[in-house]
Amino acid sequence: AKSRVVKHGLQGVLDFVGCNANVDLERLLTVADANGKLEMVTIQFPDPHFKARHAKRRVVTPELVLTLAKFMPPGATVFLQSDIKSVLDDMRFQFRLESSLFQDNVQDEEEYLAENFFPVPTEREVSVLEKNLPVYRTAFTRTTERFFIDDEEPQP
């Protein structure tokens, strides 16, 4: 992915970082001085971790949602998609728990975005669609609600 950023002249505009988001994301965004600069986050086709004992490994946790709220400015987008309805519903639920910070762009939780709004689908998405299987999607917008951490000063 990083080589494609260079190939298309997108240095300084687009970047990819591989990490365990539930362990390293806040630290990486702090080091990168990304406060208020994170315009879009996509979480696409995460490992489902069906077993209850592996639930802690799911990508979207309450802590992840709060970390994103801390670094995303109002109007920023979180795009979620999965080929497993329960996985998308669980991710969506985590963001909906923080409805003062993120607004679901699809109001009815039984409905999903019909299309990916990115011009290039992921390899997984192509594979799923070629098999005529569904892809479940939604997007959230960061609200103007200020983010507070316990007794700290408000975050923009």
Average pLDDT (124-144) is 95
| The predicted structure's pLDDT at residue 29 | 87
Active site residue 151: no
Highest average pLDDT, of 21-25, 56-60, 74-78, 117-121, comes from 74-78
Q: Answer yes or no: are the C-beta atoms of 73 and 39 closer than 8 Å.
A: yes
| The predicted structure's pLDDT at residue 48 | 66
Q: Answer yes or no: are the C-beta atoms of 122 and 45 closer than 8 Å.
A: yes
The dihedral of CA 89, 113, 4, 25: what is its sign?
A: negative
- Helix/strand/coil percentages in the chain, nearest 5: 35, 15, 50
Whole-model pTM: value is 0.82
The H or E element that residue 18 is part of is: none
Q: Would you say residue 81 has pLDDT above 90?
A: yes
- Tens digit of each residue's pLDDT (9 = 90 or more) over 24-35: 888 888 888 888
Q: Would you say residue 68 has pLDDT above 90?
A: yes
**Averaged confidence pLDDT in the chain:** 85
Please give the Cα distance from 36 to 105 (Å, whole number): 21
| The predicted structure's pLDDT at residue 19 | 75
- Residue 63 CB burial class (10 angstroms; 0-12, 13-18, ≥19): middle
In degrees, rounded to 5, the angle at the alpha carbon of residue 84 between the alpha carbons of residues 116 and 61 is: 90
Q: Would you say residue 17 has pLDDT above 80?
A: no
Q: Would you say residue 132 has pLDDT above 80?
A: yes
Query: One of 47, 90, 104, 150 is an active-site residue; which one?
Result: 47
